[in-house]
């Protein structure tokens, strides 16, 4: 039996935490493409949305390590409106 890779289509909870935040421009312009490329290249997860402009970028990402995403986003700019929801708890009818 070979190594099994996680296919999010087969397992919607392969990545447990729905992680969202807004990044506000700090010192330099934000680049949503650069942020998106960094996240996909350095963190495991799926369903990434990085949308915005040079002053504000909204991040949405499913991951098992939301603190790493938030730490990275905070290094790029000022983060706020932070939401981390546990999708497995929500699916079980519990508060996420």
In a domain, 2, yes or no: no
Phi, psi of 21 (to 5 degrees): -160, 165
Give the chain's domain count: 1
Q: Is residue 40 part of a domain?
A: yes
Question: Where is 82: in which H helix or E strand?
Answer: strand 78-86
What is the domain-level CATH number for residue 33?
A: 3.30.70
Q: Per residue of the chain (96 residues), give pLDDT as tens.
A: 444 445 545 566 799 999 999 999 999 999 999 999 999 999 999 999 999 999 999 999 999 999 999 999 999 999 999 999 999 998 889 988
Spatial CB neighbours of 89, under 8 Å, sequence gap ≥ 6: 95, 96
């Amino acid at each position: 039996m070979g190594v099994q890779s996680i296919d999010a289509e087969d397992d919607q909870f392969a990545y447990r935490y729905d992680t969202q935040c807004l990044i506000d421009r700090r010192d330099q312009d934000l680049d949503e493409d650069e942020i998106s490329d960094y996240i996909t290249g350095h963190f495991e997860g799926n369903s990434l949305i990085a949308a915005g402009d040079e002053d504000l970028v909204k991040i949405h990402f499913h991951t098992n390590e939301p603190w790493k995403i938030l730490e990275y986003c905070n290094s790029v700019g000022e983060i706020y409106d932070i939401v981390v929801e546990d999708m497995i708890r929500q699916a079980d009818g519990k508060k996420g």
